[in-house]
Structure 1
Amino acid sequence: MRAYVTTDVGQHQMWAAQYYRFDEPKYWMTSDDLGTVGYGLSPAIGVQIGHPDSLVVCIFGDASIQMSIQELATAVQHNAPVKIFILNNRYMGTIRQWQQLLYGNRLSHSYTESMPDFVKLAQAYGAVGIHCSKPDELGDKIQQMIDSDKPFLFNCHVDNLENCFPMIPSGCAHNDMLLPDEAYDEAVANAISAEGQIFVLKLIF
Protein backbone atom coordinates (compact mmCIF):
# COMPACT_ATOMS: atom_id res chain seq x y z
CA MET A 1 0.00 0.00 0.00
CA ARG A 2 1.37 3.41 -0.99
CA ALA A 3 1.42 5.76 1.99
CA TYR A 4 0.97 9.49 2.23
CA VAL A 5 3.73 10.75 4.52
CA THR A 6 3.82 14.02 6.42
CA THR A 7 6.53 15.09 8.82
CA ASP A 8 7.13 17.69 11.41
CA VAL A 9 10.46 19.56 11.60
CA GLY A 10 13.70 18.20 13.02
CA GLN A 11 16.08 15.26 12.66
CA HIS A 12 13.15 12.91 12.07
CA GLN A 13 12.19 15.04 9.05
CA MET A 14 15.67 14.71 7.55
CA TRP A 15 15.80 10.96 8.12
CA ALA A 16 12.38 10.52 6.53
CA ALA A 17 13.52 12.52 3.51
CA GLN A 18 16.73 10.51 3.22
CA TYR A 19 15.40 7.00 3.75
CA TYR A 20 11.76 6.87 2.66
CA ARG A 21 11.40 6.14 -1.06
CA PHE A 22 8.77 7.97 -3.10
CA ASP A 23 7.95 7.02 -6.66
CA GLU A 24 5.16 9.55 -7.30
CA PRO A 25 4.60 13.22 -6.46
CA LYS A 26 2.11 14.54 -3.90
CA TYR A 27 2.69 11.78 -1.36
CA TRP A 28 5.18 13.78 0.74
CA MET A 29 4.19 16.82 2.80
CA THR A 30 6.68 18.67 4.98
CA SER A 31 7.65 22.20 5.95
CA ASP A 32 11.03 22.48 4.25
CA ASP A 33 12.40 26.01 4.02
CA LEU A 34 10.10 27.55 6.63
CA GLY A 35 10.80 24.87 9.21
CA THR A 36 7.42 25.25 10.88
CA VAL A 37 7.63 23.10 14.01
CA GLY A 38 4.20 21.69 14.85
CA TYR A 39 3.17 21.43 11.18
CA GLY A 40 2.93 17.68 10.67
CA LEU A 41 -0.33 16.50 12.23
CA SER A 42 -2.77 18.96 10.66
CA PRO A 43 -1.96 18.09 7.02
CA ALA A 44 -1.95 14.40 7.95
CA ILE A 45 -5.50 14.69 9.27
CA GLY A 46 -6.56 16.66 6.20
CA VAL A 47 -5.09 14.09 3.83
CA GLN A 48 -6.68 11.25 5.79
CA ILE A 49 -10.13 12.85 5.63
CA GLY A 50 -9.66 13.55 1.92
CA HIS A 51 -8.44 9.99 1.28
CA PRO A 52 -10.27 7.92 3.91
CA ASP A 53 -9.13 4.55 2.55
CA SER A 54 -5.44 5.48 2.31
CA LEU A 55 -2.57 4.96 4.72
CA VAL A 56 -1.42 8.31 6.13
CA VAL A 57 1.64 8.40 8.37
CA CYS A 58 2.91 11.46 10.22
CA ILE A 59 6.52 11.28 11.42
CA PHE A 60 7.28 13.34 14.52
CA GLY A 61 9.98 13.91 17.10
CA ASP A 62 9.22 13.74 20.81
CA ALA A 63 9.62 17.52 21.14
CA SER A 64 7.78 18.65 18.02
CA ILE A 65 4.73 16.45 18.66
CA GLN A 66 4.05 18.45 21.81
CA MET A 67 3.39 21.58 19.77
CA SER A 68 0.29 20.13 18.10
CA ILE A 69 -0.67 16.84 19.75
CA GLN A 70 -3.98 18.41 20.79
CA GLU A 71 -5.07 17.93 17.16
CA LEU A 72 -5.27 14.23 17.94
CA ALA A 73 -8.68 15.13 19.36
CA THR A 74 -9.70 16.26 15.86
CA ALA A 75 -8.57 12.95 14.37
CA VAL A 76 -10.56 11.01 16.96
CA GLN A 77 -13.63 13.21 16.55
CA HIS A 78 -13.68 12.65 12.78
CA ASN A 79 -12.52 9.02 13.02
CA ALA A 80 -9.52 9.76 10.81
CA PRO A 81 -7.19 6.77 11.30
CA VAL A 82 -3.98 8.76 10.86
CA LYS A 83 -0.79 7.07 12.11
CA ILE A 84 1.56 9.16 14.26
CA PHE A 85 5.09 7.72 14.39
CA ILE A 86 7.31 9.38 17.01
CA LEU A 87 11.09 8.98 16.81
CA ASN A 88 11.69 9.53 20.51
CA ASN A 89 15.31 10.37 21.39
CA ARG A 90 14.50 12.35 24.55
CA TYR A 91 16.13 15.43 23.05
CA MET A 92 15.37 18.33 20.79
CA GLY A 93 17.67 16.44 18.48
CA THR A 94 18.58 19.10 15.94
CA ILE A 95 19.30 21.64 18.67
CA ARG A 96 21.38 19.12 20.63
CA GLN A 97 23.36 18.22 17.50
CA TRP A 98 24.21 21.84 16.77
CA GLN A 99 25.17 22.51 20.37
CA GLN A 100 27.28 19.38 20.53
CA LEU A 101 29.14 19.75 17.25
CA LEU A 102 29.38 23.51 16.80
CA TYR A 103 29.21 25.00 20.28
CA GLY A 104 31.66 22.88 22.24
CA ASN A 105 29.01 20.50 23.60
CA ARG A 106 27.46 23.29 25.68
CA LEU A 107 23.95 21.87 25.94
CA SER A 108 21.23 24.34 26.84
CA HIS A 109 17.52 23.51 27.06
CA SER A 110 17.80 20.73 24.47
CA TYR A 111 17.32 17.72 26.75
CA THR A 112 13.72 16.91 27.57
CA GLU A 113 13.84 15.84 31.20
CA SER A 114 10.08 15.88 31.76
CA MET A 115 8.36 13.87 29.08
CA PRO A 116 4.72 12.77 29.01
CA ASP A 117 3.79 9.14 28.60
CA PHE A 118 2.79 9.39 24.95
CA VAL A 119 0.93 6.07 25.00
CA LYS A 120 -1.28 7.19 27.89
CA LEU A 121 -1.70 10.59 26.27
CA ALA A 122 -2.94 8.99 23.05
CA GLN A 123 -5.33 6.82 25.02
CA ALA A 124 -6.60 9.87 26.90
CA TYR A 125 -7.63 11.36 23.56
CA GLY A 126 -9.38 8.11 22.59
CA ALA A 127 -6.69 6.95 20.16
CA VAL A 128 -4.56 3.80 20.23
CA GLY A 129 -1.05 4.11 21.65
CA ILE A 130 1.88 1.68 21.73
CA HIS A 131 5.61 1.96 22.29
CA CYS A 132 8.65 0.05 21.09
CA SER A 133 12.21 -0.01 22.41
CA LYS A 134 13.48 -3.31 20.95
CA PRO A 135 14.55 -3.56 17.29
CA ASP A 136 13.31 -7.14 16.96
CA GLU A 137 9.77 -6.01 17.83
CA LEU A 138 9.69 -3.12 15.39
CA GLY A 139 8.36 -4.94 12.32
CA ASP A 140 5.40 -6.53 14.10
CA LYS A 141 4.46 -3.31 15.85
CA ILE A 142 4.63 -1.29 12.65
CA GLN A 143 2.29 -3.83 11.09
CA GLN A 144 -0.03 -3.47 14.09
CA MET A 145 -0.09 0.27 13.47
CA ILE A 146 -0.78 -0.13 9.75
CA ASP A 147 -3.59 -2.64 10.35
CA SER A 148 -5.43 -0.42 12.84
CA ASP A 149 -8.54 1.45 11.71
CA LYS A 150 -8.20 3.97 14.56
CA PRO A 151 -6.09 7.09 15.08
CA PHE A 152 -2.82 5.55 16.23
CA LEU A 153 0.30 6.80 18.03
CA PHE A 154 3.51 4.77 17.91
CA ASN A 155 6.18 5.92 20.38
CA CYS A 156 9.44 4.48 19.03
CA HIS A 157 12.52 4.86 21.25
CA VAL A 158 15.71 5.56 19.29
CA ASP A 159 19.34 6.34 20.11
CA ASN A 160 19.37 9.67 21.89
CA LEU A 161 22.72 10.81 20.47
CA GLU A 162 22.29 9.82 16.82
CA ASN A 163 23.19 12.69 14.50
CA CYS A 164 21.80 13.58 11.10
CA PHE A 165 24.10 14.42 8.19
CA PRO A 166 25.04 16.26 6.10
CA MET A 167 24.78 19.55 8.03
CA ILE A 168 25.90 23.04 7.07
CA PRO A 169 27.25 25.32 9.83
CA SER A 170 25.75 28.80 10.03
CA GLY A 171 27.40 31.26 7.68
CA CYS A 172 28.96 28.51 5.55
CA ALA A 173 28.37 27.40 1.98
CA HIS A 174 27.13 24.05 0.72
CA ASN A 175 30.68 22.92 0.01
CA ASP A 176 31.46 23.47 3.72
CA MET A 177 28.92 20.88 4.85
CA LEU A 178 29.89 18.46 7.59
CA LEU A 179 29.79 14.73 6.93
CA PRO A 180 29.83 11.98 9.59
CA ASP A 181 33.58 11.33 9.36
CA GLU A 182 34.34 15.03 9.79
CA ALA A 183 31.90 15.77 12.57
CA TYR A 184 34.05 14.41 15.37
CA ASP A 185 37.25 16.17 14.38
CA GLU A 186 38.64 18.62 16.94
CA ALA A 187 38.22 21.45 14.45
CA VAL A 188 34.46 20.99 14.35
CA ALA A 189 33.96 23.02 17.52
CA ASN A 190 35.32 26.03 15.61
CA ALA A 191 33.57 25.26 12.32
CA ILE A 192 30.98 27.98 12.69
CA SER A 193 32.29 31.20 11.17
CA ALA A 194 32.34 34.59 12.86
CA GLU A 195 29.74 35.78 10.34
CA GLY A 196 27.56 32.81 11.24
CA GLN A 197 27.81 33.59 14.95
CA ILE A 198 26.74 37.19 14.30
CA PHE A 199 23.82 35.95 12.19
CA VAL A 200 22.64 33.60 14.95
CA LEU A 201 22.91 36.33 17.58
CA LYS A 202 20.81 38.65 15.43
CA LEU A 203 18.15 35.97 15.12
CA ILE A 204 18.06 35.45 18.88
CA PHE A 205 18.11 39.08 19.94
Structure 2
Amino acid sequence: MGMVRQWQELTYESRYSNSYSDSLPDFVKLAEAYGWKGIRITDESELDAGIQAMIDHPGPVFVDCLVAKEVNCYPMIPSGAAHTDMILYGDSVSGTMDDAAKALV
Protein backbone atom coordinates (compact mmCIF):
# COMPACT_ATOMS: atom_id res chain seq x y z
CA MET A 1 0.00 0.00 0.00
CA GLY A 2 3.05 2.24 0.04
CA MET A 3 2.51 3.39 -3.53
CA VAL A 4 -1.06 4.45 -2.72
CA ARG A 5 0.23 6.53 0.19
CA GLN A 6 3.01 7.95 -1.99
CA TRP A 7 0.55 9.10 -4.65
CA GLN A 8 -1.64 10.64 -1.96
CA GLU A 9 1.36 12.60 -0.68
CA LEU A 10 2.35 13.84 -4.13
CA THR A 11 -1.11 14.43 -5.53
CA TYR A 12 -3.38 15.28 -2.63
CA GLU A 13 -1.12 17.15 -0.20
CA SER A 14 -0.94 14.12 2.14
CA ARG A 15 -4.71 13.86 2.58
CA TYR A 16 -4.91 10.11 3.00
CA SER A 17 -7.77 7.76 2.34
CA ASN A 18 -7.64 4.48 4.21
CA SER A 19 -5.74 1.50 2.93
CA TYR A 20 -6.03 -1.26 5.51
CA SER A 21 -2.90 -3.41 5.53
CA ASP A 22 -2.87 -4.80 9.08
CA SER A 23 -4.70 -7.95 8.01
CA LEU A 24 -2.49 -9.07 5.13
CA PRO A 25 -1.96 -12.82 4.80
CA ASP A 26 1.25 -14.67 5.58
CA PHE A 27 2.68 -14.49 2.06
CA VAL A 28 5.36 -17.11 2.76
CA LYS A 29 2.72 -19.68 3.74
CA LEU A 30 0.53 -18.63 0.83
CA ALA A 31 3.42 -19.19 -1.60
CA GLU A 32 4.17 -22.57 -0.02
CA ALA A 33 0.49 -23.54 -0.38
CA TYR A 34 0.96 -23.19 -4.13
CA GLY A 35 4.21 -25.19 -4.10
CA TRP A 36 6.41 -22.12 -4.44
CA LYS A 37 9.33 -21.07 -2.27
CA GLY A 38 8.40 -18.30 0.15
CA ILE A 39 11.05 -15.97 1.57
CA ARG A 40 10.46 -13.22 4.14
CA ILE A 41 13.02 -10.46 4.58
CA THR A 42 12.41 -8.43 7.74
CA ASP A 43 15.73 -6.61 8.12
CA GLU A 44 18.21 -4.98 5.77
CA SER A 45 20.88 -7.39 7.02
CA GLU A 46 18.86 -10.28 5.49
CA LEU A 47 18.52 -8.67 2.07
CA ASP A 48 21.59 -10.10 0.31
CA ALA A 49 20.96 -13.64 1.57
CA GLY A 50 17.27 -13.42 0.63
CA ILE A 51 18.07 -12.24 -2.88
CA GLN A 52 20.67 -14.98 -3.27
CA ALA A 53 18.19 -17.62 -2.07
CA MET A 54 15.70 -16.32 -4.62
CA ILE A 55 18.26 -16.49 -7.44
CA ASP A 56 19.45 -19.96 -6.42
CA HIS A 57 15.97 -21.51 -6.29
CA PRO A 58 15.08 -23.32 -9.53
CA GLY A 59 11.33 -22.60 -9.40
CA PRO A 60 8.92 -19.79 -8.59
CA VAL A 61 9.72 -17.67 -5.53
CA PHE A 62 7.61 -15.14 -3.64
CA VAL A 63 9.68 -12.65 -1.63
CA ASP A 64 7.89 -10.78 1.14
CA CYS A 65 10.30 -7.93 1.83
CA LEU A 66 9.12 -5.74 4.70
CA VAL A 67 9.90 -2.03 4.54
CA ALA A 68 8.90 0.94 6.68
CA LYS A 69 5.43 2.29 5.85
CA GLU A 70 6.91 5.71 5.11
CA VAL A 71 9.34 4.47 2.45
CA ASN A 72 8.54 5.69 -1.06
CA CYS A 73 9.11 3.77 -4.30
CA TYR A 74 11.66 5.27 -6.67
CA PRO A 75 12.21 5.72 -9.50
CA MET A 76 8.70 6.76 -10.44
CA ILE A 77 7.04 8.62 -13.29
CA PRO A 78 4.55 11.27 -12.17
CA SER A 79 1.03 11.02 -13.56
CA GLY A 80 0.83 12.51 -17.03
CA ALA A 81 4.60 12.90 -17.33
CA ALA A 82 6.98 11.41 -19.86
CA HIS A 83 9.61 8.84 -18.97
CA THR A 84 12.19 11.61 -19.26
CA ASP A 85 10.50 13.30 -16.27
CA MET A 86 11.14 10.31 -14.02
CA ILE A 87 11.74 11.13 -10.34
CA LEU A 88 14.80 9.25 -9.17
CA TYR A 89 15.05 10.42 -5.56
CA GLY A 90 12.57 11.65 -2.99
CA ASP A 91 14.47 14.84 -2.30
CA SER A 92 13.63 16.08 -5.81
CA VAL A 93 9.88 16.06 -5.09
CA SER A 94 8.28 19.32 -4.09
CA GLY A 95 4.88 20.95 -4.32
CA THR A 96 1.78 19.20 -5.60
CA MET A 97 0.56 18.06 -8.99
CA ASP A 98 -1.67 20.29 -11.05
CA ASP A 99 -5.32 19.42 -11.73
CA ALA A 100 -4.58 17.93 -15.17
CA ALA A 101 -2.10 15.48 -13.64
CA LYS A 102 -4.48 14.62 -10.79
CA ALA A 103 -7.16 13.69 -13.32
CA LEU A 104 -4.89 10.98 -14.70
CA VAL A 105 -4.30 9.26 -11.35
Give the TM-score normalised by structure 2: 0.70
Q: 1:168 aligns with which of 68, 74, 78?
A: 78
Structure 2: where are the runs of 5+ without partners? Answer: none
2:10/2:97 contact within 8 Å kept: no
Kindly report structure 1 stretches of 4+ aligned residues shifted beyond 4 Å.
172-179
Secondary structure, in 3 states, of the residue corresponding to 2:63? strand
Alignment partners' CA distance in 1, 2:32 and 2:86:
42
Q: In the alignment, which residue of structure 1 is the partner of 2:47?
A: 138
Which structure has the bigger radius of gyration? 1
Aligned-residue CA RMSD in angstroms?
Answer: 3.0
CA distance in 2, matches of 1:166, 1:152: 25
Aligned length: 103
- Which residue number corresponds to residue 97 of structure 2? 192
Residue among 9, 34, 39 paired with 1:125: 34
State the 1:150 CA deviation. 3.4
* CA deviation profile, 1:96-136 (whole Å, cap 9, x unmatched): 11101221212124452321100010111122212111222
Q: 2:69 corresponds to which letter in structure 1? A: N
Quick check: 2:77–2:86 contact (8 Å CA) kept in 1? yes
Partner of 1:154: 63
Q: Superposed, which structure 2 residues align to 1:1-205 within 5 Å?
A: 91=1, 93-163=2-72, 164-165=74-75, 167-170=77-80, 180-183=90-93, 185=94, 188=95, 191-197=96-102, 199-200=103-104
CA contact (8 A) 1:166 1:180 kept: no
Kindly indicate which of the two structures has a greater share of residues assigned to strand: 1
Aligned-residue identity in percent:
39
- Name which structure has the greater RCO, CA cutoff 8 Å, separation 6+: 2
